[in-house]
Structure 1
């Protein structure tokens, strides 16, 4: 019992350190909301943000750049989940919240904090993947997987190809140009070594 309480408080601190919404932390860790709000203020020096979570995450994908960020997280999350030692069959489980944290951190390492989803949007995206209101599709032009979600403002077209056309006025992006377009859309310096990644996560 003591070890379980310690584990749940540690999970709560992991999430609050990443500025997760109190409602998410309470749901995942089971720590009282008052305790979480006090912990948030102590860690960040400000009150925890309030407001309801979106019932459908597609409503938060309000730009192609945001769609690209969500796609990067979704691909990373599913790869991490595939390698997780334990994963329950359905719903957001304690095992998967650690997978969400891991994928969130990988995205921040790859693209930078300013070009990645925050932990709350990561949680919402993972939730929507679980319940089927979001999924990944493959682009026939650039061969990249991208996220589509219910009630998104965009049709089921690739955000990389869309951003590439906006930047370069080209009909589509093909082959290795996808890597540079991906980097450019995230405001990263395009480099020849930024290639499509087909391996797993260490």
Structure 2
């Protein structure tokens, strides 16, 4: 069962210890440090305390604490305000969310990791990139404005409209045709000339026949 003691360790003064062979099933809420050498199943929420899982200790629960130090086995998601330390022999199956993560040689983890420092760095880098892009756009717009002001003002160009070709009226065409007809009537054609009749000359043979 859980025991209270004040043994000093490398990490902190532990006030509550789950001894080997002890199994606790349920929800654990508190504000003090807990050392697990036995087994805990359920959930662990320490508002201002740290969870220490020694070698041989097993925690089958989601954990929320100020810091988590693991040398045993934890199956569940870990959320720590300060840090999570995985020491030699630690085995973690679950996601880890913490400000700082320390993984020593010999530790193993299967799950996702999210650190607030990395997220803050990524956010700062993204903000810096956005500022650079905005500044570049401002520089380009300023350069374009300077170019536009340097260009001479465009002159007003009046379009030249060509008048459409005038069509000849039907009256003028009719008068022209009448004039051509009158001219042709005055000038006689070759076919209209009178033919002059020539006297016929009788053939020589015919005259001789008449004399005899």
The two structures have a TM-score, normalised by structure 1, of 0.17
| Higher radius of gyration, 1 or 2 | 2
Q: Relative contact order (alpha carbons < 8 A, sep ≥ 6): 1 or 2 greater? A: 1
Higher helix share: 1
Q: What TM-score do the two structures reach when normalised by structure 2?
A: 0.17
> Which structure: greater strand fraction?
2
